[in-house]
Structures are given as structure tokens and as C-alpha cells.
Amino acid sequence: MALHRLAVNPARWLGLAFTEMVIYGNRSPELAYLNPVNPLKTAEHALWDRDNTLFAIEAVVRPLPGVEAHATFLADDLDFGEFGDNSYNNKWAVQAGLGTAFETPAGAALGYIEYTRTEPFVYTHRFLLDGSCYNSYTHNGFGLGHPIGPNADQVEVGLEVWLPFRLRATVTGRYARRGENFTAEDGSFVNVGGDITNGDQPPFNEPTKEFLRGTVQEGPGATLDVTWEPVNEVGVALNLDYQQWDTDPNRLFVRGSFFVDL
């Protein structure tokens, strides 16, 4: 994976950024991708258009003291001639949120609300090797993009609090929906773009995609992150994540860690 990011702050109330990434495999590292000033997309085209690039445009606006709004548009594939037509050649995601900082009796706090939507087939790639789409945005089976994956959306609210004794806690609640691939009544497999590891597109007689098509799962979820840093840059952290689905098995993830920042 290679990544370039350019961030500018033309004013105290405005921040802008451009990020580009590429995933590639089944060969040695590409020197063209290591050039920090050469755009990754142009390098990918010069290398026979066989890798998986994406780019994101971001903006942060601070209209009032303690208030911050942010928005991101991510394009995995983009065809301006077919934009708005639900074409498989357009794979994109959007995220927007609003946050505010304030004081509580326990300490400083930050609250926010955020919406994320990822279109079908975002983060996927169509090239197969030994039955696996090796250029998808995954590592050891885990997605490198937003946790909800493709063909999904989510509303999330959160509160982060800085507490005494160098404690920091974050609590979030969310409601997520996702459209999963399914097996039709005739026994055929239907790929609706709901699996980050499967980038095979349907036949050309199905020229458009549909958001949240397939077996739709939805439900609430919550996370709790607690970090204790008794010494500067040295601490321990606890992370709990729970997701409830209406028909799929519910998921609980627990992780503890010790960290040293150098």
C-alpha cells in the first residue's frame, strides 16, 4: 500500500485535504509509488491499470468557537460521464459530521454526530489470484476502509471526555445498515457489492447497481474506549465494541493493549 496526503489550512476556521492511496500485490514494491510528488493515479495508468487506487477530498469548517463540521468524499472508481446513473463504474463513499467541545464537571468533552455511506463495491477489486481478489483494501481478511464496509450506511453519535488522573474515555452509539450478497431462488449467487473481498461485477445485462440491495441487515451498536496514561506517552487502553444485527449473529469485540509512543 502507498499513500499520499496533502493538507492545507488557508484560514483558522478552514482546513482542506487531499488523500490518494493504492493497493497492489503479487509483485515487488513499485518505485513509481514511492515517489512522493508523482500522483498515484498517473503512475497506476503507466503500470497498465492493474492496481486499486482511490482518492478522498476532505474539508473541516469551524464556524464558531468550539464548533467543527467536517465532510469527506471518497472515490474508489469514478466515471464523470456516468455519475448519478448508479453505474458500476462509480464506487464512492461520503461522510459528514458536526462536533462541539465543552466543559463538564469531570473535565473537557467533545460530542459529535456523524453519517457515513459507502456505495456497493467500494474498496473492492476485480482481479483474482487463487480465488481471492488480492487488490481489495484488506489485510489478513480485515478491511482497511470504514468498518461498515461496502453497500452500507451508519449514523453515529459519540462523546469523548478527558478525566482526572490522565484518563480519557470515549462512548459512541450507532445504527448501521448493510446489504449482503445472497443466493437467488434458482441457486445462483448474486453479488450486490456487499463483500469487501469480492469485486466480481455482475454481467453486462445488469448495468446498474442499487444501494442496500441484497440481504439487508441492520441494528444498533456501541463502543467504549478507555485510555489511562500514567506517564506521558506510556499507558494502557481498553476497547469494547458491540454490534447487534436483526438476523445475523451479534458481534462483541474486546481488546486490551499497552502502548509506548516514541
Q: Write the pLDDT tens digit of every residue in 62-120.
A: 999 999 999 999 999 877 666 666 777 789 999 999 999 999 888 899 999 999 999 99
pLDDT at residue number 240: 98
Instruction: Give me the phi and psi of 32, to 5 degrees please.
Output: -60, -35
- At 231 the pLDDT is 92
Angle at 227 between CA 224 and CA 230, to 5 degrees: 160
What confidence tens digit (pLDDT) does each residue in 190-224 have? 899 999 998 887 766 666 789 999 999 999 999 99
- pLDDT exceeds cutoff 70 at 250: yes
Assess whether pLDDT exceeds 70 at residue 225: yes
Instruction: Write down the pTM of the prediction.
Output: 0.90
The C-alpha cell of 127 is what?
482481479
Element (H, E) at 123: none
What is the per-residue pLDDT for 205? 60
Q: Which of 224, 223, 110, 230 is nearest to 167 (CA)?
A: 230
SS3 content of the chain, % helix, strand, coil (to 5): 5, 55, 40
Distance (Å, whole) CA 138 – CA 123:
8
Closest CA to 24 of 139, 124, 134, 126: 134
